Structure 1
Amino acid sequence: MNDDDLERERSAPVAVPEDDLADLAALGAFVDGELPGDAHAAMQSRLHADATAAQRVGAYRAQKAALQALSRAGEETAAPAWVVLRRRDPWWHRAGIAAAWAVAGAGFAVAAASMLPHGLPLGAGQGPGSALVASDAENFAHRADVAYAVYSPEVRHPVEVGAADEAHLVAWLSKRLGRPLSIPPLGEYGYTLVGGRLLPGAAGPAAQFMYQNDTGERLTLYVSESGRERDAVHLLRDGSRRTFYWSTDRMGYALSGPDSEGRLRKIAYEVCGTLGGTSAQW
């Protein structure tokens, strides 16, 4: 076989069986909430037993959350540039392209952030620096929101280290973030600790702690270095999700969940106070 033959073999399209395409379409429809009631329930049951399908659904949810985050970021910039594709490709093909753009967009965001000034003074609300500070805080909140959207639906692997190893979890994540961490208890609100995991932050490691109540609803606390001494508690809304975020002692915190806004706000204030915040922040 010569070089031309090898090149033709590499460029030849890969045939995907129609049954596999139908299955991919069903999984995509499940993620988008487009399956009818019976089919949705059947798919949920299947995901408990089919690890491959569950992993694929997790990947689709991650792609969808990343695209939503990128879309919001684009709406906040002046005169965004969009590429409009008129040809209607299969959804699974579009998802692959979207994932590639999500990775490229994340890399661009990190590169751009490295060129922005850091450590702007708190209260610089009248100059152009205030917009950069607000953007950094909102980007932090979007990261927390995406992390919640990706991991809170996970059935088999919602966390890396479970609550049974809480002491190890706290020691491990404290070492990685370079700051002593603590996990605030939320038992009075009906939530118990599920565990936690290590995640990438904007300029270093981040931690995510997950809680769950008796009905299966989950909350996550996202923690990363902030560089900001102290910020008030703010709210990010995204569909049915809510994220309250703030900073205390140069650490950023974000509490995300599907709970009613008023109740989640109350929990966020409680967590803020437990982690060294003051009532002046809310």
Structure 2
Amino acid sequence: MSDDLKPMAASGSSEPVLHALSAFVDNELPAAERWALADRLAVDRWAACSVAHYRAQRAALRVLFAADPAAQASVPCVVLRARTIWWRRAAFAACSLAAGTALAGLAGAIFWQIAPPNAQMSFAEQADLAYVVYAPEQRHPVEAGAAREGALVDWLSKRLNHPLSAPSLREYGFVLLGGRLLPGTAGPAAQLMYEDGNGARLSLYVSPVSQREMDIRLLRGGDRRTFSWANDHIGYALSGQMAEGPLRRIAVDVCRELGGHPEKWG
């Protein structure tokens, strides 16, 4: 990583730092710098909040250009002087959208990107909001792709200080796209993203939790469903736009593969 990125908090809003964070959001950094900066975001709150701010800008800008799919797909992260103007317009769009039931999820997603989940937010809600934010992404649904699955799992395991694995969902028609590191209430969280041949996506959210074990719970949000559970102080949540029965069957297999005890769920 370049020297400009090392003292992020001390550098404040210096142009090189802002450009580096903007390039990270737009996936324009070389792979080595991108991975190093992703590690930094897990411990540097200022940088993580800046990246979240830019992602929220981009999401809202896509709403502004919703009538033009080509323009929507090419909306970049806006930084420096232009960012204040764009943010005002984006905030106006987000406030307008909040009134619409169909777009309430996006409003929540934008808020979640600006402020990491608080202690009152349930584990399942965190997972659901992470799904809302990243499952629709076409260009950047993951930080690191599945082409280097071993390196991805090692990286996330190191950041969560817990050995992880990416369960196979091929039996259900889903393949691993990759994963990303996210902020959680008890430390870093990981999200693994899966996709089937029709473009439907499931995400597995993993993060430390205070409970040693937690039986399965169901969270409903619009057309989304999230099944969450915990084993050995690690929480898992499987989210998707799928009927409860099929998603629960997948959750049972994922829990078993990850060393849990789905037979206790009843």
- Counterpart residue number, 1:11: none
Deviation at 1:28, TM superposition (A): 4.4
Deviations 1:16-69 (A, max 9, x none): xxxxxxxx8982484xxxxxxxx5xxx335434x2339xxxxxxxxxxxxxxxx
Is residue 27 from structure 1 mapped to residue 63 from structure 2 by the alignment? yes
What are the within-5 Å matches in structure 2 for residues 178-197 of structure 1?
A: 178-197=161-180
Q: Which amino acid aligns with 2:194?
A: Y
Stretches of 4+ moved more than 3 A in 1?
Answer: 43-48, 93-99
Choose from 195, 204, 208 the match for 1:212: 195
Distance 1:215 1:93, change over 3 A: closer
TM-score by length of 2: 0.62
Q: Which amino acid aligns with 2:197?
A: D
Is residue 52 from structure 1 mapped to residue 76 from structure 2 by the alignment? yes
CA distance in 1, matches of 2:217, 2:97: 34
Q: Is the 8 A contact 1:192 1:212 kept in 2?
A: yes
Q: Which amino acid aligns with 2:260?
A: G
CA distance in 2, matches of 1:159, 1:197: 5
SS for the counterpart of 1:231 is: strand
TM-score by length of 1: 0.58
CA distance in 2, matches of 1:258, 1:184: 19
- Counterpart residue number, 1:223: 206
Q: Is the 8 A contact 1:225 1:252 kept in 2?
A: yes
SS for the counterpart of 1:200 is: strand
Deviation at 1:224, TM superposition (A): 0.1
- For structure 1, the 5+ residue unaligned runs are 1-23, 31-38, 54-89, 114-135
Matched pairs, number: 186
SS for the counterpart of 1:168 is: helix
Greater Cα radius of gyration, structure 1 or 2: 1
Choose from 209, 215, 221 the match for 1:238: 221
Q: Which amino acid aligns with 1:280?
A: K
Deviation at 1:208, TM superposition (A): 0.1
What are the within-5 Å matches in structure 2 for residues 50-89 of structure 1?
A: 50-52=74-76
What are the within-5 Å matches in structure 2 for residues 3-18 of structure 1?
A: none
Q: Which amino acid aligns with 1:230?
A: E
- For structure 2, the 5+ residue unaligned runs are 1-59, 78-90, 99-106
- Counterpart residue number, 1:92: 93
- Counterpart residue number, 2:122: 139
CA distance in 2, matches of 1:91, 1:220: 30
Choose from 175, 194, 202 the match for 2:158: 175
CA distance in 1, matches of 2:210, 2:184: 13
Q: Which amino acid aligns with 1:265?
A: R
Q: Is the 8 A contact 1:166 1:195 kept in 2?
A: yes
Q: Is the 8 A contact 1:197 1:207 kept in 2?
A: yes
Q: Is the 8 A contact 2:65 2:71 kept in 1?
A: no
Q: Is the 8 A contact 1:170 1:183 kept in 2?
A: yes
Q: Percent identity?
A: 49
Deviations 1:223-275 (A, max 9, x none): 00012121111100000111000001110000000011111111011111111
Deviations 1:189-212 (A, max 9, x none): 000000000000012100000000
